[in-house]
Structure 1
Amino acid sequence: MPQDDEVSSAWERIVGWLQRHAPASAEALRPGASDEEIARLNESLGFEIPDVLEVWLRMNNGSTAKDSEKPIPGGGIARLPHRDSIIFPDGMRFLGCQEMARQHTEYLHIARDIGDGGYWKTPWIPIMETSDGPYGILLDTRNPPGSFPLLSFSEGDYPSSYLPSLGAFLQPLADLLESGGAPSVTEGRICWRD
């Protein structure tokens, strides 16, 4: 099965499960990304996102619909993730186009500031993150066309190999949810066991 089809099929199953069993979490999913949002993400990254990521974003533009922002004294904005936006194991939420662009820029800035090009590379796109710290999953677009592995990253370590593809993350997750596996549901929200 092509990667795009694998991702769209798995994501449809995950969203269907959330709608039936964890409606508060399903409500945290944003509508699909528009042409303009995809174009802004591509412009911010400096390259076009892979089709497999575009397919996923066009289905839902992240799980951050309930997140909020507040001004910080002295300027700036603090982003406040909502607990319903945590839909993946390990406390991770699905980043939308805007969050991907913002985090990509921030990590490249950190790499320049510390003078360590291994900390973050331009072709790495953050796609999932925890709400409480710099830990998550990124899509590595450096590989040959059609091959986009996932890397895990955290504040204290360099990104490392995680899974061979986005489909390899989403398909088993859909299977787990449909089989009645790991998560529980509290107040309509998916809750992953530690």
Structure 2
Amino acid sequence: MDIDIPSDVHDAAARLGAGVPYALKVVAAQLTGDPDMGRPSSRPGVRTVTVDGELFEDCPALAVDYVHEAERIEIRSVNLASSAEPALLAQRQELVFERKSEQPAGPAADAIAERQVADAWQRIETWLRRHAPATVEILRPGASEEEIADFQQILDVRIPAELKALWRHCAGVSAETDNDVSFMLGNRALMRFEGIDWVYRQYMESQQRIGNDEFPIWRPAWIPFCSYGASDYASGLLMDAETGKIWYWDRYGERTPEFESLTVYLEEMADLLETPALSDGTKPGLLHGGLVWGPPVNADQAAQWAEFTG
């Protein structure tokens, strides 16, 4: 199913709130599985999905109009939901699944987080097995409960349930070369435990020597899990064990929040793999049988890279 979101609709979504473009992507992803999920509008052929703004950060209640034609869906508009529409939010055809990362702490919340990560990773790995066998070959097996417990003791920091769930399925990439191993969204590589430990200790030592609380080099709760390459730790992603948020880090001291949670990061990656038309930026593609997000900057790679369109 092809999804078309015209540029003017993207622009309108951005003006309505910082979280609206992401909510629009989620709606588009759901429509690929259930094209008739919306209710008929007053205009012939146009259906409307109402989005509960409380499900997304920085997002008001929305009315998304779309047209379903054969194997194609076109998002026609996104607007603020009218005051008469909140009662419709509970109806079955409306957007009901939640991506909020701010869950109450406890075993029940951990179980939900673990299931969400496992489901997202399963979607990613299923796509890789179908389309990118070279990437599957460099995935390391999942870590055992004992290995994760031992690693937590080595780091001496509480590892969040989401990160443990990811490592149970894949404990990094096994390739010793950086060629085609940075397959995660943003062209990043899943780190092995030894790499995580090295980066964590290097930056914690720097924090103790020259860092301060106002402009920290590293915090004890920051756990890196993605890097620039299999053995290149110039930059990457970390999880804040206290908040669950995902931050970008690099060797020059940049620390920038990027995703609300690991679940959001993995689900967005899975969405873009399954429905490439959702992307308004980097695109999934194949290079030497592996997943590479692009188009690549390197001219030689760009010449051999093939965009995946579904």
Q: Deviations over 1:112-163 (max 9, x none)?
A: 33344501011100011102452111100123xxxx1111112223422111
Alignment partner of 1:190: what SS?
A: strand
Q: Match of 1:90, as an amino acid?
A: G
Aligned to 2:206: 110
Does residue 129 (structure 1) correspond to residue 227 (structure 2)? The answer is yes
Determine the C-alpha separation between the residues in 1 that align with 2:233 and 2:145.
Answer: 30
Does residue 189 (structure 1) correspond to residue 189 (structure 2)? The answer is no
Q: Is the 8 A contact 1:104 1:125 kept in 2?
A: yes
Aligned to 2:175: 66
Higher relative contact order (CA 8 A, sep 6+): 1
Instruction: Tell me how large the CA RMSD over aligned residues is.
Output: 1.8
Counterpart of 1:85 (choices 177, 181, 188) is 181
Moved over 6 A (4+): none
Determine the C-alpha separation between the residues in 2 that align with 1:19 and 1:106.
Answer: 35
Deviation at 1:19, TM superposition (A): 1.2
- The aligned length equals 176
How does 1:20-31 map onto structure 2 within 5 Å?
20-31=130-141
- The structure that has the greater radius of gyration is 2
Aligned to 1:76: none
Alignment partner of 1:183: what SS?
A: strand
User: Structure 1: which 5+ residue stretches go unaligned?
Assistant: 68-80
Counterpart of 2:263 (choices 160, 167, 182) is 167
Shift in CA distance, 115/157, structure 1 to aligned 2, threshold 3 Å: closer
Q: Is the 8 A contact 1:108 1:120 kept in 2?
A: yes
Tell me whether 36-45 or 20-29 shows the greater mean CA deviation: 36-45
Counterpart of 1:138 (choices 230, 234, 238) is 238
Q: Deviations over 1:36-87 (max 9, x none)?
A: 321232112112311111111001111x2112xxxxxxxxxxxxx4323211
Determine the C-alpha separation between the residues in 2 that align with 1:137 and 1:174.
Answer: 17
